Amino acid sequence: MFQTSAPKLLIGTECARDAVKSIDKASVRIALATTTFRADDELSSNVIDALCRASKRGVIVSVCADTYTYLEPRGFNFTSTKQYSARAYHALKLERKLKSSGVSFHWLGRLSNFGFTGRTHSKWLVADDTVYCFGGVNFDGESFTHNDYLFRLNNSDFADQLFAQHTRTIKADKSGHAARYCTIPLDKSSTALFDRGLIGNSIIYRRACELAQAATDVTLVSQYCPTGKLSRILHRKHAKLYFNHWQNTKGVNTAMIRFGMTLTHQHTLYKRDQYLHAKFILFTMPDGSRAAITGSHNFMFGSVAFGTREIALETTDPSIIAQLEKFFKNHVQ
């Protein structure tokens, strides 16, 4: 593996500004995958303008975003179509802007016949050999303000393989196909984990369960309450859980978190006002060693059952774990 620099954790606003610099420096290729993609503030507009500039100077630019961008319900008021029409209008306007600049743009999930199936929840940006991933930041203004991060790393081998995964994701989505999970080693201590849309087939959730089962101490940070087998394991462990309380959320998120907490009898230690969108688990093993999983997966069984596409990093790298612990101390605890 060719690693030129250690992965660096960047919170949402830092990530947005840094991404623009990398996009403007790119000379060969750019690939962006995100769940939600909007031009709804200065930071997100700057990212979009940088993508357009890159395409116009001859860089291969491929962008894919999930249709959840314009279908996402703000609540359960399905009788009001004005909000949905406005979101769809702005989404299609953004699509036209990108395509008019030569960007290859694709909406993912259009073949899904149900709102929560066929979703792509992965987030990554490849700009030549610079990669942003293994966190939860989506590329829109609201997401940049959330309590969240992405890691930036310079790894030409992984950038090649992630660009290939990006292409496969678009091709599979166009045909309505899903695939078994896959893994890509980054180095001796870190492995990228990909859930590729096959229902009930999540390497990320499975590894979270296996590591939690083996650990003596577990700290989980997520947008949502963990559910399924993982939740049952955490009940038996010395586990500290930090996720948004349903009383501090709105719409569908309120319903999902309230249902999860009622179903699992889990409680959250998260008390901050800022909306928590980060997703990682820290594990301490019986021999004192440490491990972590960080990425886009919220550690809910629903993501497994619905075959959601996700990306995560499983690592024992002390420098990565130290950055997650620092984020936890400064932004979560």
Which structure tokens are listed for 276? 């928590």
Structure confidence at residue 79 (pLDDT): 45
What pLDDT shows up at residue 78? 41
Residue 272's identity, in one-letter code, is R
Please, is 294 exposed, middle or buried when counting C-beta atoms within 10 Å of its C-beta (0-12, 13-18, 19+)?
buried
Given this model, what pLDDT does residue 4 score?
53
Residue 290 falls inside a structural domain: yes
Q: Which residues are CB-neighbours of 16 under 8 A, at least 6 positions away? A: 43, 44, 46, 47, 139, 144
Residues 170 and 199 in one domain: no
Same domain for 112 and 11: yes
Which of 177, 204, 235 finishes a domain? Answer: 177
**Residue type (1 letter), 251:** G
The pTM of this model reads 0.93
Within-domain flag for 182: no
- Whether 83 and 110 map to the same domain: the answer is yes
User: Do 172 and 266 belong to one domain?
Assistant: no
Q: Look at residue 70 in the predicted model and tell me its pLDDT.
A: 79
Q: Is residue 306 part of a domain?
A: yes
pLDDT at 115 (0 to 100): 56
143 shares a domain with 27: yes
Indicate whether 12 and 131 sit together in one domain.
Answer: yes
* Residue 243 lies in domain: 190-332
Q: Helix or strand or coil: residue 300? A: coil
Q: ∠ at Cα 138 (295, 128), nearest 5°?
A: 80
Kindly report the CATH number assigned to the domain that includes residue 161. 3.30.870.10
pLDDT of 212 reads 98
Kindly state whether residues 225 and 265 are assigned to the same domain. Answer: yes
Q: Do residues 54 and 85 share a domain?
A: yes
Count: domains in the chain: 2
**Residue where a domain terminates, one of 155, 177, 199:** 177
Mark whether 102 and 29 lie in a shared domain: yes
For residue 113, the model assigns a pLDDT of 53
Per-residue pLDDT tens listing for the chain (333 residues): 444 578 999 999 999 999 999 999 999 999 999 999 999 999 999 999 999 999 999 999 999 999 888 776 544 344 445 555 777 888 889 999 999 999 999 999 887 655 566 789 999 999 999 999 999 999 999 999 999 999 999 999 999 999 999 999 999 999 888 999 999 999 999 999 999 999 999 999 999 999 999 999 999 999 999 999 999 999 999 899 999 999 999 888 899 999 999 999 999 999 999 999 999 999 999 999 999 999 999 999 999 999 999 999 999 999 999 999 999 999 999
The CA-based dihedral angle spanning residues 115, 84, 107, 65, taken in that order and rounded to the nearest 10 degrees? -90
Which ranges in the chain belong to alpha helices (H)? 12-25, 42-56, 68-71, 82-100, 141-144, 156-175, 203-214, 229-235, 251-264, 301-305, 318-327
Q: Could you tell me if residue 28 is inside a domain?
A: yes
Same domain for 321 and 275, yes or no, is yes
Return the pLDDT at 88: 81
Which of 120, 150, 177 finishes a domain? 177
